[in-house]
A and B are shown apart, each in its own frame.
Chain A
Amino acid sequence: MTGAESAAAPARQEPLLSVDGLTVLLPVEGQQRAVLRDVSLQIRAGEAVGLVGESGSGKSMTARAIDRLLPRGAEVQGQIYFDGADVSALSGSQLRGYRNKVAMIFQDPRAHVNPVRRIGDFMTEALRTNLGVPTADARRRAVDMLTQVGIEDPERRLRQYPHELSGGMLQRVMIAAALLTEPALLLADEPTTALDVTTQAEVMAILDELRRSYGLAMLFITHDLDLAAAICDRTVVMYAGQVVEIRRSELLHSDPLHPYTAALAAARPEIAQKASRLRAIPGRPLSAFEAPAGECAFAPRCAYAQPTCLTAVPELTELDDGLSRCSRAAELRGHLEAVHV
């Protein structure tokens, strides 16, 4: 893949995952409210795409919608295609097959691993049940994978219970388990947020390395713009349930296309920087259903807002290899770097 290839124009080959106009409504206090609005993104085989946003932006919900893990009562509009197949139309064994090809890694490993079953059971369950792999075989593969994620003495670990492992180790186990079914796409939902900083770095390194060596596609969800930029080729930025920017990661800091992205990038303090105040974006992040209809969701907090921004919801427009939902994107380009509060 060369840099000249457009991130937004239809790819020369079919994308592995194609999300098109995804809108999700959830029951909130008795009513159906939108948590995702018209979300579209594509992931090609082997490509790592970051999904960045604050709490409530809908990034987790997007991953869940892709994996069909939405809560009860959720309404889904729009299309999700994986490898040419309509994901919402799958059922039964087809759905289970899909789940083996798309593996999800969750945020809090301690909550997401059954505490009363052994690690070996956790790792090999999908293999034994769905793929009919005999137990001994499955265990061998599990041992192998544990070694690859950097866990020592893997045979012993297989016999242990989750509470006997540290958070970082448990997350590695989760990654290993996800990789065992040989998926084509990894959905990583803030895999390191619940870990301490040192462990974060280790787990990130393992995730990145394994992804590359297995040639897997990945949707990496985080609230940390720089983290996404570090291991993903492209980054999708979300705000209030909408996609506001899609951009090549290396250009996010130097040439962002949306004021929100610029503000996110500017808000993270550099260690070498001297500043009298932390830069913060005024106001608070909104969920999709809290955003006022008929205007740009970010406008109330935007330093560049103009009256026209409040008249209609801006469309995603193409600009220099990327997509932006700012109606003033072309005009502001080049000036967004120097955002101050």
Chain B
Amino acid sequence: MSAVIGVSTRPARPPARSGALGLLRSTGAAGIASAVVIAVATVLAAFGPLLAPYNPDLPSLGLAWIGPSGGHLLGYDFEGRDVLSRLLAGAQSSMVGPLAVVIGAMVLGTLIAVVAAWRQGLTDTVASSGLDILFAFPGILLAVLAAAVFGAGLTAAATALAIAYMPYVARVLRGAALRERGQPYVAALEVQGASGTSICLRHIVPNMLPLIVAQATILFGWAMVDLAAISFLGLGVQPPAPNWGVMISENQPGILQGYPMPSLAAGLCIVGVVIAFNVLGERLFERAQAAHR
């Protein structure tokens, strides 16, 4: 092969690992461990109520606050319900809420980001300014407002959070979309007559997929924290429904009285799952950015 003087030499890059499993392996031990935790949490969310050894909803006040004992690994909560069962049952609402938030925010955010990056010009300016204005609403505040207007509940809270997160997602993805837009292959496709929509859907978005997945993973962690906080405040999932955030608040008096287990156990569940999402999300983010160097 003939080369003109001045060609730079760099050691060849290692071949990129393809496929989801390859991606996972490349996130290292921490990434894999996190994925395992997330998988377990997902299974619990799906089958939690079935796996619960005891009835999570039946109060039995005479048994309130009794610690771990015979078959009840984590003891009883403030209404005499088995803590472990309630945790398992609560996994569902604790995981489904954030999922809805992430789907909403990512879909909306990606849409706006790609449209703004594609059209550029006035559309972009308007979209960016609009996003800037939306940034004025912190998620929790919007959720509280929604609860005041529409009544407390998971739907209102999740919708509010999705709207509050969307500008952040859009801003991150807009940068990536702009970069993709500027790639030569896009110009080539345009010249060939491909429509804007098809280029966006079949080329730009798929190329942004690593970043989208990374962002979604991290977002899940935030959504989980915020939704649990709103449930903790009593404006999200309503007691007596099992939910990790609700469990922390309804069992809080126990801490002062010397029965910290139910509240703490729920807190640890939240922290554990959120750490997993954070760690995995960060690793995925690094990979997504490295791919664009």
Interface residue ranges, A against B (CB under 8 Å): 28-29, 54-56, 223, 264, 267, 278, 280-287, 290, 341
A284 touches B6 (CB 8 A): no
Interface: B5 (CB within 8 A): yes
Q: Which 6 A-B pairs have CB atoms at the shortest separation, nearest pair first?
A: A56-B9, A55-B8, A284-B3, A280-B4, A267-B5, A280-B2
Chain A residues near B62: list those with CB within 8 A: none
Contact with A along B1-18 (1 / 0, CB 8 A): 111111111010000000
A266 CA / B6 CA spacing, docked (Å): 14
Given A267-B5, A278-B4, A282-B1, 13 more contacts at CB 8 Å?
A28-B11, A54-B5, A54-B7, A56-B8, A223-B6, A280-B2, A281-B3, A284-B1, A284-B3, A284-B7, A285-B7, A287-B9, A290-B11
Chain A residues near B5: list those with CB within 8 A: 54, 223, 264, 267, 280-281, 285
- Can you give 16 A-B contacts (C-beta < 8 A)? A54-B5, A54-B6, A54-B7, A55-B6, A55-B9, A56-B9, A267-B4, A278-B4, A280-B4, A281-B5, A282-B2, A285-B3, A285-B9, A286-B9, A287-B9, A290-B9
A54 CA / B3 CA spacing, docked (Å): 12
Chain B residues near A278: list those with CB within 8 A: 4
Chain A residues near B11: list those with CB within 8 A: 28-29, 287, 290
A280 CA / B8 CA spacing, docked (Å): 14
Q: Distance (Å) between the CB of B3 and the closest chain A CB?
A: 5
Chain B residues near A290: list those with CB within 8 A: 9, 11
Chain A residues near B8: list those with CB within 8 A: 55-56
Chain B residues near A29: list those with CB within 8 A: 11
A55 CA / B7 CA spacing, docked (Å): 7
Q: Distance (Å) between the CB of B221 and the closest chain A CB?
A: 32
Q: Distance (Å) between the CB of B146 and the closest chain A CB?
A: 43
Q: Distance (Å) between the CB of A71 and the closest chain B CB?
A: 15
B1 touches A283 (CB 8 A): yes
A286 CA / B3 CA spacing, docked (Å): 12
Chain A residues near B6: list those with CB within 8 A: 54-55, 223
A223 CA / B9 CA spacing, docked (Å): 14
Most buried by A among B5, B6, B7, B11: B5
Chain A residues near B9: list those with CB within 8 A: 55-56, 284-287, 290
A28 CA / B9 CA spacing, docked (Å): 14
Interface residues in B11-39 by Cβ distance below 8 A to A read 11
Chain B residues near A280: list those with CB within 8 A: 2-5
Name the CB-closest residue of B to A57.
B9
Q: Distance (Å) between the CB of A28 and the closest chain B CB?
A: 7
A29 CA / B4 CA spacing, docked (Å): 27
A285 CA / B2 CA spacing, docked (Å): 11
A281 CA / B5 CA spacing, docked (Å): 7
Name the CB-closest residue of A to B5.
A267
Name the CB-closest residue of B to A287.
B9
Chain B residues near A287: list those with CB within 8 A: 9, 11
A115 CA / B187 CA spacing, docked (Å): 34
Chain B residues near A223: list those with CB within 8 A: 5-6
Q: Distance (Å) between the CB of B185 and the closest chain A CB?
A: 25
Q: Distance (Å) between the CB of B10 and the closest chain A CB?
A: 8
Chain A residues near B1: list those with CB within 8 A: 282-284
A286 CA / B11 CA spacing, docked (Å): 10
A68 CA / B8 CA spacing, docked (Å): 24
